[in-house]
Structure 1
């Protein structure tokens, strides 16, 4: 009996050792298959991130190594008039574009959610502008908003209104850009449609039994239960607005005219890094932008506890 017990004990120990080796081998195999992604993450994300922090404290340029200058880049930003102008332009765009994109997106989604014949065609039409490259959108709207022969001013002339210079006017250039950006909100409309489809019809049936009208159902059922989707689009809209680049850069050929009214933050960052070769200065600008977006995102997350409502809670 004792010999048999010893034999069983040895077999159990052998099985445990084999199991440990198998776990180690499977773990090593998993790391091996994940290694290309991990190497890419370190080389193309983490390493440039750390290096950019260091470069923001130097006078580094593509043409010369540069020297450590401490907070000089950040101090220079505070007195750079074009930097302050780019902040104003970017904040102006974000303040008007983000709320308007949410209002227009929700309104369009509610209209496209109606049960009428041919709705899929209408949904496709509103989504198509998101498939057009931003460069093509810029060229199209430059023609439409041309003060001399553009279709927009031509239509306004027909009804007795003299149209402004639009992109050639310091006053109307940013509103024109906001209008162009609103033309391509089809992607967020699709997300709102998905959110509307997730709202249970039982809520509306109960409201109808209580005699609620369309406005009451919209403001007491639809919008509160759509707030998780609005919250997501708000965060993404803020991030996208502060990183506005392609449209204004294409419209102005990178010059930000007229009178730098279309010089946005990322445009000026790009110019410093790749046109003036001031990589240290551009790195400082990038980290200022990162901090601003992070603070705004955290504020939105903090405030979401008060206005975001989830079904079943």
Structure 2
């Protein structure tokens, strides 16, 4: 079955659209110059969508008693309810169609976290808010990988976001056809070492979940599995966990490699563990041995190629 194009939601200003309050944009070079070669974007500007003009007065979150408004600095023009409803609408319409979302940081509509909430007098604020639109997208799509433009400058968070996008997309392709325990087990087998690198306990728990399943409600099993998988992958893999995973993978070649080749492999993993070389160095060596000594099980491991190599995401890890 041919895979569909990966679709990612994005704040329109990050795509270069001049929709900000000042008629400007905040184009993300990574999203639009690099990742755009591999995905298709669906652009959203919730503020324009609820009727605000371009240009427009700035809006911000303001706490009034027990409620939070999204309004002008003088307290007028609250569009909080409209932003919430628009967020619910898009979240419902795009459920299962989007494989990720990139939000504009600090925005009262699109910020994922640390959005400023001002007091009524405008004399102080706290950075504890969530954008009204972003909150609905995340609330109604708990599996959806979401990230902010600023955080994507961090090489570990960038790699982790893209990896989760591709993981969810692979899952979305799987569930287009009726799910069976066998198909779930095959899917899990491909993710074994990626899971091991991110969360060893989840790797064991999810394997046990599938291996001990008894009953007829396979769809409920699938829902529990993918929620566990996506949650387990949220934290970037540590050098220690990656190193342990690489050692496990090296074990498959113990009968094929010469003494010198084994030492070379161990040295590459140790140098990565110590932070002397990036992850792609021992990975490249392992891929070389896999080509020379083919192994059908290993060749299917997502850990080796979780996303297109052209993105060069592991060069800085």
TM-score by length of 2: 0.24
Please identify which structure carries the higher helix content. Answer: 1
Structure with the bigger RCO (C-alpha within 8 Å, sep 6+) is 1
Higher Cα Rg, which structure? 1
